[in-house]
Amino acid sequence: MKAAVFHAPGAPLTIENVQISKPGPREVLVRTVAVGVCHSDLHILDGMLPARGPSILGHEAAGIVEAVGADVRTVKPGDHVVTCVSVYCGHCEHCLTGHLSLCVSPETRRSRDEEPRLSIIQKPVAQTANLASFAEQMLVHEHALVAIRKDMPLDRAALLGCAVTTGTGAVFNTAKVRPGETVAVIGCGGIGLAAINGAQLAGASRIIAIDMLDSKLELARQFGATDVINASSAEVAKQVHELTRGGVHHAFECIGLKQTAEQAFGMLRRGGTATVIGVIKPGVKLELHGLDFLDEKRIQGSMMGSNRFPVDLPRLVDFYLAGRLKLDEMIAQRVPLEQINQAFDELRRGELARSVIVFDQ
């Protein structure tokens, strides 16, 4: 199959022929239809997050099941599916207590003494995020995907695999925003727009979008923002306090920077919660005012929106098909696999919400 292969940080992805194995007992072979270009992959490309090459990146994908292993019970050939980074085993402590996104069981991967799922000239190729979606096919554990309605367009369904599940899930599952509460969202890329849309679905009374680009702030209004702040102006947290007369109940950081994570905590009202969704560079430490904790302010992380993927994703599909979840507006461009490096260049510039790689069908 054809795939975009990562070899080393700073080097462009190369389009190569990769051998793919047959499904094991609990594995599923999927023909990739669409895959989103996500910041998590960019962090690996630029060396911010560690990864070994050769490997195949990509994790925000949708496709059609081609074959299944003998013990697979959740999907069948012909099913339309969406993948998820937080593949789960189903029986560890995290899974049994409803925290599927925290599962780290190694049994969802092939062991080192087994034939690798992917290889180039008989040398193993790693699956980043246990998925490897920048390829014409994916071979994954059955708990790395979920079947969806066939009337759902797959290029839009792909976004549910990461950006939308992460953004809406942080609102619904991690922070548990309640009707009438106030929300601020820092960063209006794919995840930030999804968080804004999620806050609207949750019934937030006021949703403040914060970004450096006016074009993204205008897009944020389409997703449900009631107010916007251009972050190039000074004292963003102070502006939030003035708008809300005391700060917001919830602030969501969707970029992954020290400054914006600290700003999220600084714009809270008494008893408020800051949820950091963005990936902060390893080793970076946050500085927070200790007295704020006496006001019962909290700061927390969110892993893939604390999702229960088999439950959450079909509901998001229903929201989209009912016209309540915005996905069409999030896709800025659709490009073939051969233009993947240009898509990452666009992502570095930060001007587009989401690019989607589409495969010939």
pLDDT, tens digit, for every residue of 241-260?
A: 999 999 999 999 999 999 99
What's the total number of domains in the chain? 2
Q: Does 318 reside within a domain?
A: no
* Whether residue 175 sits in one domain with residue 134: no
Q: What does the pLDDT read at residue 52?
A: 86
* Whether residue 201 sits in one domain with residue 54: no
* Whether residue 202 sits in one domain with residue 145: no
* Whether residue 23 sits in one domain with residue 102: yes
Tokens, residue 324: 């309540």
Q: What is the CATH number of the domain that holds 98?
A: 3.90.180.10
Torsion of CA 95, 98, 99, 103, to 10 degrees: 10
Q: What does the pLDDT read at residue 117?
A: 97
Q: Does 297 reside within a domain?
A: yes
* Average pLDDT of span 187-191: 94
- Displacement of CA 316 from its chain's centroid (Å): 14
d(CA 267, CA 167): 19
By CB neighbour count within 10 A (0-12 exposed, 13-18 middle, 19+ buried), where does 290 fall? exposed
pLDDT over threshold 70, residue 164: yes
Range of the structural domain that residue 123 is part of: 2-161+326-358
- CA geometry: angle 70, 71, 76, nearest 5 deg: 75
Q: What does the pLDDT read at residue 255?
A: 95
Per residue in 272-299, pLDDT tens? 999 999 999 989 999 998 888 989 999 9
* Whether residue 74 sits in one domain with residue 58: yes
How would residue 107 be classed by pLDDT, with cut points 50, 70 and 90?
very high
Q: Which of 113-122, 147-156, 285-294 has the lowest mean pLDDT?
A: 285-294
Per residue in 39-86, pLDDT tens? 889 999 999 888 888 999 999 999 999 999 999 999 999 999 999 989
Q: Does 313 reside within a domain?
A: no
* Average pLDDT of span 299-315: 96
Q: What percent of the chain has pLDDT over 90?
A: 89
Q: Does 319 reside within a domain?
A: no
Q: What is the CATH number of the domain that holds 204?
A: 3.40.50.720
* Whether residue 150 sits in one domain with residue 89: yes
* Whether residue 155 sits in one domain with residue 174: no
d(CA 280, CA 261): 9
pLDDT over threshold 80, residue 105: yes
What pTM was estimated for this model as a whole? 0.92
pLDDT over threshold 80, residue 157: yes
* Average pLDDT of span 130-157: 97
Q: How many CB atoms lie within 10 A of CB 139?
A: 26
pLDDT over threshold 70, residue 265: yes
* Whether residue 211 sits in one domain with residue 124: no
Tokens, residue 66: 């081609």
* Average pLDDT of span 7-21: 96
* Whether residue 155 sits in one domain with residue 51: yes
* Average pLDDT of span 6-11: 94
* Whether residue 173 sits in one domain with residue 296: yes
Q: Does 247 reside within a domain?
A: yes
Q: Does 344 reside within a domain?
A: yes
How would residue 361 be classed by pLDDT, with cut points 50, 70 and 90?
low
Q: Respond yes or no on whether the N-terminal peptide bond of residue 77 is cis (omega within 30° of 0).
A: no
* Whether residue 34 sits in one domain with residue 119: yes
Q: Does 315 reside within a domain?
A: no
* Whether residue 281 sits in one domain with residue 331: no
Maximum mean pLDDT: which of 1-5, 120-124, 330-334: 1-5
Q: What percent of the chain has pLDDT over 70?
A: 100
SS3 228: strand
Q: Does 309 reside within a domain?
A: no
Contacts of 327 (CB under 8 A, 6+ apart): 156, 159, 160, 164, 320
How would residue 237 be classed by pLDDT, with cut points 50, 70 and 90?
very high
